Amino acid sequence: MDTRKRQLALQRSALAHLPRHGMAVGARPTLEARTAPPNPACVPGAGQFCRHPLVDAALNAALLAYEQTVRGRFEAIEDVLRSLSARQHDRDFVEQAQALARQRLDTEWPLSLLEHAWVAGVDMAALQAHALFATIERCVRLADQDRAPWMDRLPVQAADLRACGIHTLDVSPCADGRLQGLLPFVLRTAPSEAVAVKAYAGALFDVELDVAEWTQRELERLSGALPGAEGADYLKVAVYHFSSSHPQHEGCAAHGSHDARAVVAAIERLHALREAVNNTYGEGAAPLVMLLGVDTDLDALRVHLPDACGRLHADRFLDAATLYRETLGMSADAAHRHIETAVVAHVQDLGGVLTRQPGDEGLARLAQRWITANLSQIEYVIQHHAGRYAVIGHDEHFICVGDALPSLQLRNQYYHAHLDTVEEGAADLDVGVKIFTALNLRRGLALPMLVHFTYSSRVPGARQRAIERGHRVVAAIRARYAHWDERGRLHARVAVSDRYGRERVAFVDEAVAAPAGH
């Protein structure tokens, strides 16, 4: 944790001279942060214990251990780099460096990065990038083992989604790193083949792409390729975020930290998706939709249910922090009933909720599950992060470009720009590079980009095309950020995953990946 504190202090000084123009870029644990409002769910020590009857304490302990393990691996990198810095002119530097890397990072440095250190010093950015990619690879390799203690204990599994009438959950959070732990932590929802995450700056997902993905799943359902999905629905969820500590500065950068604007824009896309499918495949074909909001300082959830006509309302939602506070002293049963009553009242207030079959309020049941699950995350932040995250701003370690990383989902671990081409996704990438300018580049460190694409092993040639796409995107990134590339600060690697799990974030050697000529 020492490293962590040093890092924060360093960021603070690095960020102090940045202009403040309403765009939330760069971690800013400044004075105001320390005078932030108390956690609205519960203030520990203020006459309350903050031990909610519906919280799964054992699950929280397992998730904490996981968070510390994964964060520890990434935080060790800067610590090791600082040690190397102090020793780079020693005669036995190479041996020391390799020993440190083996002990602390479970990797080795390429000799070319070390052997000339005695002449001109080491290239810190290159070492940092090498260690980062090695750590990502290690986390993916160990993911099953690391997550085993909590994976099956998460209260929302694929079977639970099915029980709420959902065969596919398609989630578009903001690209912001603070939302990258959304599924396992905030929603306590297990990753599975039924769950897809596509992050976009401002949660402004691609309607045409989503129509295509809905179409694919719908045809899989109709052709029997999704066993048990008869009568079940596709659910599209958009997730906006805001900061209760610094609403004007640490909200969503893509919407200029203007929360109301973020909500309206997300609702507009969700309505457009429904209209597109209804207009194309007939009234009633549209997927279900839901809007979620996350206070990224507290990981507290807001749930906007669609009314009976499928319309979402910006100002009508269920608030998990409020429900936590209201049910804190109750028995588990009473708390359950209280939440259920709140959901039922909300649905009545909306005049009913969107369903395929009348009377089957699967979405309301899912809202209740997610709110109940989120109580554990609210308490997690209260107990393990002092009621409010210490770093309420950006603190990502790398940028993930392309498809999501289901095996590595943790708050502020990476900024995620879902894209197929830089040409289409440039605006999302620019926000990420701006964040890393503050976090890393101004300090002389790297701009690390993992370019990751998922392919279907059922489609001949798809793996090779995914690799070619990766290299094409890297080339476009190098052209767009030539300023950093020319200084040797832009470090990009390509990795591919099979949609059906046979290969997971496999790093691709540049030499192997040259597009085949005809």
Residues labelled as active-site residues: 176
- Residue 505 CB, shortest distance to a second copy, in Å, is 20
| Residue span binding a second copy (CB under 8 A) among the ranges 75-83, 92-100, 217-225, 323-331 | 217-225
Q: Please name every residue paired with 454 in a beta bridge, in sequence order, or none if there are none.
A: 497
Instruction: Establish if 212 lies at the interface with a second copy (CB under 8 A).
Output: yes
What is the secondary structure of 370-423 as a DSSP string?
HHHHHHHHHHHHHHHSTTS-S--S---SEEEEES--TT---TTSEEEE--S-HH
Please report where in the chains the tokens 């008869």 appear, as a residue: 230
Residue 81 in contact with residue 124, Cβ under 8 Å?
A: yes
- Indicate the residue among 54 and 252 with the shorter CB distance to a second copy: 252
Closest CA to 132 of 91, 101, 160: 101
Instruction: Establish if 318 lies at the interface with a second copy (CB under 8 A).
Output: no
Sheet holding 447-455, edge to edge: 414-417, 398-402, 447-455, 490-498, 506-507
Exactly one of 122, 204, 381, 433 binds a second copy (CB under 8 A); that residue is: 204
Exactly one of 253, 254, 290, 305 binds a second copy (CB under 8 A); that residue is: 254
- Indicate the residue among 36 and 276 with the shorter CB distance to a second copy: 276
- Indicate the residue among 499 and 504 with the shorter CB distance to a second copy: 499
Instruction: Establish if 220 lies at the interface with a second copy (CB under 8 A).
Output: yes
Closest CA to 272 of 312, 221, 301: 312
| Residue span binding a second copy (CB under 8 A) among the ranges 63-71, 74-82, 117-125, 213-221 | 213-221
| Residue span binding a second copy (CB under 8 A) among the ranges 33-41, 124-132, 278-286, 304-312 | 278-286
- Residue 476 CB, shortest distance to a second copy, in Å, is 5
Instruction: Establish if 22 lies at the interface with a second copy (CB under 8 A).
Output: no
Dihedral, 128, 434, 314, 292 alpha carbons, nearest 10: -10
Instruction: Establish if 260 lies at the interface with a second copy (CB under 8 A).
Output: no
Instruction: Establish if 265 lies at the interface with a second copy (CB under 8 A).
Output: yes
- b or e along 103-141 (b: 16 or more beta carbons within 10 Å of the residue's beta carbon)? ebbbbebeeebbeebeeeebbbbbbbbbbbbbbbbbbbe
- Indicate the residue among 148 and 219 with the shorter CB distance to a second copy: 219
Separate counts of helices (H) and strands (E) for the chain: 16, 11
- Residue 302 CB, shortest distance to a second copy, in Å, is 20
- Indicate the residue among 164 and 199 with the shorter CB distance to a second copy: 199
Residue 423 in contact with residue 372, Cβ under 8 Å?
A: no
| Residue span binding a second copy (CB under 8 A) among the ranges 28-36, 133-141, 333-341, 417-425 | 417-425
Exactly one of 48, 68, 69, 216 binds a second copy (CB under 8 A); that residue is: 216
Exactly one of 19, 227, 282, 359 binds a second copy (CB under 8 A); that residue is: 282
CA-to-CA separations, 491 to 422, 445, 446, in angstroms, rounded: 16, 10, 7
Exactly one of 331, 341, 348, 421 binds a second copy (CB under 8 A); that residue is: 421
- Indicate the residue among 187 and 266 with the shorter CB distance to a second copy: 266
Q: What is the largest CA-CA distance in the chain?
A: 77
Closest CA to 312 of 331, 330, 289, 294: 289
The whole-angstrom separation of Cα 202 and Cα 253 is 7
The whole-angstrom separation of Cα 100 and Cα 83 is 9
Amino acid symbol at 206: D
- Indicate the residue among 275 and 486 with the shorter CB distance to a second copy: 275
- Indicate the residue among 58 and 459 with the shorter CB distance to a second copy: 459
Residue 236 DSSP SS3? strand
Interface with a second copy in residues 127-166 (CB under 8 A)? none
Exactly one of 58, 148, 219, 386 binds a second copy (CB under 8 A); that residue is: 219
| Residue span binding a second copy (CB under 8 A) among the ranges 216-224, 296-304, 361-369, 442-450 | 216-224
3-state helix, strand, coil in the chain (%, to 5): 50, 15, 35
Exactly one of 3, 96, 192, 215 binds a second copy (CB under 8 A); that residue is: 215
- Residue 224 CB, shortest distance to a second copy, in Å, is 7
Interface with a second copy in residues 454-483 (CB under 8 A)? 456, 458-462, 465, 472-473, 476
Q: What are the residues whose beta carbons fall under 8 Å from the beta carbon of 425, sequence distance 6 or more?
A: 401, 417, 418, 419
With both helix axes pointing from N to C terminus, report the angle between 2-15 and 57-87 in degrees, rounded to the nearest 10. 70
Exactly one of 423, 483, 486, 510 binds a second copy (CB under 8 A); that residue is: 423
Instruction: Establish if 248 lies at the interface with a second copy (CB under 8 A).
Output: no
| Residue span binding a second copy (CB under 8 A) among the ranges 70-78, 269-277, 351-359, 487-495 | 269-277
The whole-angstrom separation of Cα 97 and Cα 103 is 10
Please report where in the chains the tokens 């000799």 appear, as a residue: 111
Using CB atoms within 10 A of its CB, is residue 220 exposed (0-12), middle (13-18) or buried (19+)? middle
Exactly one of 126, 142, 276, 390 binds a second copy (CB under 8 A); that residue is: 276
Number of residues that bind a second copy (CB under 8 A): 44
- b or e along 383-402 (b: 16 or more beta carbons within 10 Å of the residue's beta carbon)? bebebbbebbbbbbbbbbbb
- Indicate the residue among 103 and 456 with the shorter CB distance to a second copy: 456
Instruction: Tell me which residues touch a second copy (CB under 8 A).
Output: 202, 204, 207-208, 211-212, 215-216, 218-220, 222-225, 254-255, 261, 265, 271-272, 275-276, 279-282, 285, 420-424, 456, 458-462, 465, 472-473, 476, 518
